[in-house]
Amino acid sequence: MARGSTRPTSRDVAQAAGVSQAAVSLVLGDKWRGRVSEPTAERVREAARDLGYRPNLAARNLRLGRTRTVLLVVPALTTEFFAGVYTGAARVAAEHGFGVVLYPSPEGIGPARDPFGSARAALDGVIASSMAADALSAIRGDQLPLVMLDSDPAGSHGAATVNLDIADGVRQVADHLLELGHRRFLHLAADIPSWTFEVRARQLAARVGAVRTALAPISVEGALAAVEAALGEPGPRPTAVICDDDKLAVGAYKAARRLGLRIPEDLSITGFDDLGLATAIDPELTTIRLDAELFGERGMQALLAVLGGRTPTPGDIPVELVVRGSTAPPRHS
């Protein structure tokens, strides 16, 4: 159909796709599964794109009693990782006619304040990354659908969870260092009472046995002070520092150099996240790559499933060890 000056309608989409208007409504409302075949759904989506069709969301929202708005709650707005989570979630949301509002709750263990005064009247659902479910009670009450990212499935109070395979990431780091010959480890652990960091500590201890631990806030200055103190303690010095976060690893670099230690000749260092700074430091950092955008995409897909009365796709998201120049065999076993 040639495009005219008038706005295309659902009838135009139906005619172009060779289906009924009811089928168009099901597909564009993301309620087609089990009622319309996948090839037909794709044909409808292609016709809508070709025609430049946009549904009247305002009228549709009035009928459904929805605002088509999702709240994404994160611990910080200045972190590269959470920016990626937002990008992925917003991309999937836009494909389904939803908007995503980003809201920081720095404490992470709450309770988070309700950003709207009456969020249940303004939101269709909540995605919370790296937070405790209890922290969200003021926002969601017992009404709003909730998806928890990077959170303990056993402590989610029935909410859907989407997780990265953090335990496997720790195993990959530990096995890499063990294969290089390291046996004395310092775990530079984030000083945050969070499930994801508890998993790292448990898995590391299970993989390498006894490990010295230094706690630090996720900051370069805090990590520098913690590592400098730990490496100055009596007894055999650790040959490898395993950091819970790339920013902590940067602090470990500074501490090592302040003590006259070379990386990786005297001290191997690993991180977690694969942030941009991992390749900005010298030597470049061996770390675990977490796909933040995919994480956000999966979180939004899970929430859409919950809103549609479906069970979200199970399974943790794989992570990847990226070996760079900060790790090498220890000089002394």
Per-residue pLDDT tens over the stretch 233-263: 998 999 999 999 999 999 999 999 999 999 9
Any domain includes 2: no
The count of other CB atoms within 10 Å of the CB of residue 62 is 10
Residue at 322 is within a domain: no
CATH number assigned to the domain comprising residue 254: 3.40.50.2300
Q: Taking the alpha carbons of 13, 18, 23, 29 in that order, is the dihedral positive or negative?
A: negative
Residue 293 host element (H or E): helix 292-307
Place of tokens 């709650």: 73
Residue 300 — pLDDT band, cuts 50, 70, 90?
very high
Residue 323 lies in a domain: no
Q: Are residues 101 and 37 both part of a single domain?
A: no
Mean local confidence (pLDDT), 208-225: 94
Same domain, 50 and 69: no
Name the region of 300 (left: φ>0; alpha: ψ -120 to 50; beta: rest).
Answer: alpha
If phi > 0 it is left, if psi is from -120 to 50 it is alpha, else beta; for residue 268 that is: beta
pLDDT tens digits for 49-65?
888 876 654 444 434 44
Give pLDDT tens digits for 262-276. Answer: 999 999 999 999 999
Q: Among the ranges 1-10, 157-166, 251-260, 305-314, which has the highest mean pLDDT value?
A: 251-260
Mean pLDDT (the chain) is: 86
pLDDT at 62: 39
77 and 177 in a single domain? The answer is: no
CATH number, residue 23 = 1.10.260
Domain shared by 92 and 205, yes or no: no
What is the rounded CA–CA span in Å between residue 301 and residue 263? 42
Tell me, yes or no, whether 135 and 198 share the same domain.
no
The total number of structural domains in the chain stands at 3
Supply the DSSP string of 47-85, one letter for each residue: HHHHHT----HHHHHHHHT---EEEEEES-SS-HHHHHH
What is the spatial order of strands in the sheet that 268-270 belongs to?
212-216, 185-190, 240-243, 268-270
The model's confidence at residue 308, banded by pLDDT at 50, 70 and 90, is confident
Q: What does the DSSP assignment read for 226-254?
A: HHHHHHTSSSSPPSEEEESSHHHHHHHHH
- What band does 132 get if pLDDT is binned at 50, 70 and 90? low
Residues 105, 42 share a domain: no
Are 88 and 191 found together in one domain?
A: no
Residue 110 reports pLDDT greater than 60: no
Q: 281: which 2 tokens?
A: 């430091």
Q: From CA 201, how far away is CA 199, in angstroms rounded?
A: 6
Q: Look at 38 and 239; give whichever has higher pLDDT.
A: 239
Domain span holding position 119: 64-163+292-310
